[in-house]
Structure 1
Amino acid sequence: MTGEPTAGVQGLFAAVYGGAQDTVVQLLRAGVPAEATDEDGQSALYLAAVSDEPGVARLLLAAGADPDRASGEDGADLPLCGAACGGHTEVVRALLAGGAQPDRREAFGFTAVAWAVVQGFADTLEALLEHGADPDLPGPGGERPLVLAARRGSPAAVRALLRHGAGLHDEGAREAALAEALRWSALDVEHELRAGLRHAYGDGYGTVVRRIVADGSQSVLVELVRDDGTPVAGREQQTGHAAVATVLEAELAVATPYEELALRALRCGDPERDDWLESVAALWRRGDEETFQSVAAWCASDDPLRRAFAADALGRLGSAPAHGTQDANGDAGAGPFTARAVALLGELSRTAEEPEPACAAVRALGRCGDPSALPEILRHAGHPDGGVRRSVALALREVLAAAPGADGGAVRALVALSGDAWASVRAGAVPALAGVPADAAELREALAARLDDPDAGTAAWAAYGLAVRQDARAVDALARILAEEDPAGHARATALDAVRYVPDGEDRLRLESTLPRRSHA
């Protein structure tokens, strides 16, 4: 269409922008073309793509909109690239299901994969790769996606590309990505972003820096602002370059020195982030005597964070092999380092004065999955630090899952921890208590006491534990959670899973037909 849009087209664009699917259906049925464009040459489908409206996109595709039709005055914008640039994964899936070609290029040589990588949207990247996008197709300037992901500092994006064969048939791609990750690992990301912005826009602006930790990585956002605080420009990048390097080294069979792996974790300083986790995983994959001895030596460090890292690594080395055997009681077989790891971790947990190594040692004892670790774990059940008590709850859950026949006071400790003043401790203890094979009045009463817990996830696990035990008190709690909690949340998912344990009858039918009363943003 050319010229001034008709009232029908204007109404369609307003409906697309507002996500009004019923109105979109009505206008399409009234004859407004699905291929309609506005005065700037933007298509309705492109607007749906960049506005994150997967339902509207599906309606337009079903009505005949071309998923590969370029949009804009110069025809430079593709719906798939627009969706990928914004991380709109469900729109990407809708467009691909509607026939969009995953490797088409738009202006400046960008592909949807390149957009997803440089913006750090690993879920979107995964969707594109699942639908056949080429993991090695160069992006702007001829750079490989793996190199772009390494520069971005996104371990999740790098893992996705490697899972789909990136670099297998592109000689030097993995080596180039590793070199880029190592180069950025030595740089201050905030300084580099700030310098890039000042080079592009000059020195006459202030800067605002924000740091966001999500999905195992920290992102740094640097913005230039005017004196009144108005943003001028910004750049954002993840900081998981050390983790990316560790992942790529594993793919290339590069034996990174033990001390370097430790330093990568310690520079990050957060056991929940990828830089730390990948270093631990690298040590676990080696799994030889030399590795064990190096890790054990770190237990004597004066640095509490290094001792925490040593504990984490010992927990992995002491865990049963991935395909371990089971003993006569159905318990998982021990790994080759289990006994020595449990002894070292027990000593570390007893002597740790700071919460960090104490938490790490207790969690690591649980990860070993060995019932012989129970006395050392239980020793800390009354620790004054809530983080340590939470570690006890999580560790007990892991030991009991690996060795269901074990107890040794674990259930009694979980009963006490399920009533802890700290919500995070209860959130660790109640799921563990729910999964205990035993059934006793004390256990049931502890679960029943948590049916109204302020944390919906904890309440859901309490109801689950009672439902498994055919306790009628679970029914009303399950009904409340199913009706009131986020339809896509963990609490409702746990409650739905629990319904199968409710005996057939009126209560079961009521629960199975309970719908959420409201959606959650």
Structure 2
Amino acid sequence: MTGSELDRRLASAVLSGDADAVRDLLHKGADPNAPGPEGGLPVLCAAVAAFDAPVAEALMEGGADPDRELPDGSTPLWRALDGGSPAVFESVLGREPRLRLPEQERERLLAGARSWYETGPVEGLRRRTGARGPAVSMRVTDGHYDWVDQYTLGGLVVRAGHGAVLTSLEWSFRVPTPVDELIDRAVRIPDEEHVDWSAVWLTLVRRHCAEVLSATLAHRGHPDPAHRRFVADYLRARGIIACDSPSAERESGVLAAWSTRETDGAVLAKVLEAFAEYEHPDMEATGLRHVAHPDPRARLRAVSVLDASEDARSPEARAALLTLLGDPDTRVRLEVCRAGLKDDALLAPATEELVRLARGPYEELRGGVVEALAASRDRTPAVADALAALLGDGDQPVRLEAAYGLVLRDDPRTGDAIERVGLLDGGALEHDHRVSALWDWTYREGRPWPLAPRTGDV
């Protein structure tokens, strides 16, 4: 295959959003800076315009130049900044940008991100396009988990993630932005799944030191609950990422004391959620203190704390969990079931409740219910029957988990269960442990694989 043919195929793969094909073509020798089909701009610009972070990342890994000057004087990196997608910008920023970019360019990028953030996406679009009509907005997922608003006006599209872009640049260029300013930026949209919120806690975790920790913890006394929720979310991340840190004892102690005085149910739930990620001698006492809280969110996380203290579970804790199996909130009952499945004394009643939940009209919980049933140590016919019944669910992940649970039990209905899962997306499930278990079962039984071939299968 000639180089020009490889480049044409690369451009096509970029436009179709096929990151795996992009990597394959680059490995075969395609030019990562090949022109796209429109206007001759590098294919990286097409990925940026499409807000396609995986393709942009693949191109960058293959040697694309984010700093190449374009005919309009911009660069792919500047276009990614203007676009306002933190996921795309992170992909295009590249490794060690502080060393790659001269100081003047770093300052320009910081100023550009701050201008977009302070001006706002809609006004920024008006200035760019001269359009005065209303902007069309929609909420989109940016990256794997977080969301951001996307605006269209005058033929241009931007995402309102410039706060996260600015935070990312400050970290990359080692700009010591004051903690108070960062937290104000995080809670401007008080949602922990917003890109700005996530970018700030990640930066604070990266910048961790005694001074940053103290400045962040100071906000747990802030009158705005959003500030306190942010601190709890930050500590939750710390507990997951750096549970062996020398400051972990201090952090867990802060959470234990905080849980005794927090009056907002939503914030208390976040405090308890964070506390469950640590080790502390008062885990069980803290969980028991809140199992009867009037806010179901707090009760839910009190169960999480009791679950985290399972090695020292007392008769009082078991009694509390048994009582909560009758909680009016279904999410609380499901969380108790998850905890109970690990406890011989609670296994039977927790399983009974799981079976009831599986039969009930709780579609939003069905994924968690079937996952708990599949993993349960209970091998009674009632659990297998509940899993078999869930094969008729309209959600494929639920059917996949149900079939997996039957495979683990070597249930005689396994063959039919696998067929009822439905055709699978090979790329998305290539390394899925459940798919591997189903594949192994059909191989042992000498049956044909009834689902779509996984990536790499012949």
Do the structures match in fold with TM over 0.5?
A: yes
Residue 212 of structure 1 is matched in structure 2 by 139
Give the drift of 1:310.
Answer: 2.4
Does residue 289 (structure 1) correspond to residue 198 (structure 2)? The answer is no
Matches within 5 A, 1:351-366: 351-366=261-276
In the TM superposition, what whole-angstrom CA distance separates every residue of 1:6-25 from its partner, at most 9, and x where no partner exists?
A: xxxxxxxxxxxxxxxxxxxx
Does residue 471 (structure 1) correspond to residue 380 (structure 2)? The answer is yes
| 5+ long unaligned stretches in structure 1 | 1-60, 71-76, 224-232, 325-334
Does residue 256 (structure 1) correspond to residue 256 (structure 2)? The answer is no
Q: Contact 1:338–1:368 at 8 Å: present in 2 too?
A: yes
Residue 33 of structure 1 is matched in structure 2 by none
Give the drift of 1:416.
Answer: 5.2
Q: Contact 2:283–2:306 at 8 Å: present in 1 too?
A: no
Give the drift of 1:460.
Answer: 0.8
Which among 419, 425, 446 is matched to residue 514 of structure 1?
419
Residue 112 of structure 2 is matched in structure 1 by 180
Q: Contact 1:342–1:373 at 8 Å: present in 2 too?
A: no
Distance 1:196 1:411 in 2: 62
* Letter of the structure 1 residue corresponding to residue 294 of structure 2: P
Matches within 5 A, 1:44-83: 68-69=7-8, 78-83=11-16
Distance 2:92 2:112 in 1: 16
Q: Secondary structure at the match of 1:108?
A: coil
Q: Would you say how many aligned residue pairs link Structure 1 and Structure 2?
A: 412
* Letter of the structure 2 residue corresponding to residue 440 of structure 1: L
Distance 1:133 1:423 in 2: 51
Q: Secondary structure at the match of 1:295?
A: helix
Distance 2:387 2:326 in 1: 20
* Letter of the structure 1 residue corresponding to residue 66 of structure 2: D
Give the drift of 1:111.
Answer: 2.7
Give the direction of change, closer, same or farther, for the CA distance of 1:291–1:275 in structure 2 (3 Å limit): same
Q: Secondary structure at the match of 2:408?
A: coil
In the TM superposition, what whole-angstrom CA distance separates every residue of 1:287-330 from its partner, at most 9, and x where no partner exists?
A: 3322232233222222222222222334445x376483xxxxxx
Residue 448 of structure 2 is matched in structure 1 by none
Q: Contact 1:320–1:369 at 8 Å: present in 2 too?
A: no
Distance 1:238 1:347 in 2: 40
Q: Contact 1:153–1:239 at 8 Å: present in 2 too?
A: yes
> Quick check: which has more Rg, 1 or 2?
1
Q: Secondary structure at the match of 2:188?
A: helix
In the TM superposition, what whole-angstrom CA distance separates every residue of 1:461-489 from its partner, at most 9, and x where no partner exists?
A: 232243x33233232333343454443x3
Whichever structure has more helix as a proportion of its residues is 2
Does residue 481 (structure 1) correspond to residue 398 (structure 2)? The answer is no
Give the direction of change, closer, same or farther, for the CA distance of 1:193–1:303 in structure 2 (3 Å limit): same
Q: Contact 1:243–1:275 at 8 Å: present in 2 too?
A: yes
Residue 355 of structure 2 is matched in structure 1 by 448
Matches within 5 A, 1:79-94: 79-84=12-17
* Letter of the structure 1 residue corresponding to residue 86 of structure 2: P
Does residue 459 (structure 1) correspond to residue 366 (structure 2)? The answer is no
Length-normalised TM-score, structure 2: 0.74
Residue 247 of structure 2 is matched in structure 1 by 337
Give the drift of 1:186.
Answer: 1.9
Give the direction of change, closer, same or farther, for the CA distance of 1:436–1:180 in structure 2 (3 Å limit): farther
Distance 1:323 1:296 in 2: 17
Matches within 5 A, 1:386-425: 386-396=296-306, 399=308, 405-408=311-314, 413=320, 420-425=327-332
Matches within 5 A, 1:312-323: 312-317=233-238, 319=239, 322=242
Residue 153 of structure 1 is matched in structure 2 by 84
Q: Contact 1:292–1:314 at 8 Å: present in 2 too?
A: no
Q: Secondary structure at the match of 2:151?
A: strand
Comparing 92-101 and 296-305, the one that deviates more: 92-101
Does residue 134 (structure 1) correspond to residue 53 (structure 2)? The answer is no
Please give the root-mean-square deviation of Cα atoms over the aligned residues, in Å. Answer: 3.8
Q: Secondary structure at the match of 2:354?
A: helix
Distance 2:330 2:41 in 1: 46
Residue 24 of structure 1 is matched in structure 2 by none
Residue 201 of structure 2 is matched in structure 1 by 280
Distance 1:248 1:321 in 2: 22
Distance 1:518 1:78 in 2: 29
Q: Secondary structure at the match of 1:370?
A: coil
* Letter of the structure 2 residue corresponding to residue 451 of structure 1: A
* Letter of the structure 2 residue corresponding to residue 458 of structure 1: G
In the TM superposition, what whole-angstrom CA distance separates every residue of 1:132-172 from its partner, at most 9, and x where no partner exists?
A: 2515363743534333333322222233345x637377433
Q: Secondary structure at the match of 1:506?
A: coil
* Letter of the structure 2 residue corresponding to residue 82 of structure 1: L
Give the drift of 1:493.
Answer: 4.6
Q: Contact 1:315–1:367 at 8 Å: present in 2 too?
A: yes
Give the drift of 1:105.
Answer: 0.8
Residue 123 of structure 1 is matched in structure 2 by 54
Q: Contact 2:48–2:80 at 8 Å: present in 1 too?
A: yes
| 5+ long unaligned stretches in structure 2 | 426-458
Give the direction of change, closer, same or farther, for the CA distance of 1:244–1:195 in structure 2 (3 Å limit): closer
Which among 487, 495, 500 is matched to residue 402 of structure 2?
495
Distance 1:452 1:269 in 2: 36
Does residue 103 (structure 1) correspond to residue 24 (structure 2)? The answer is no
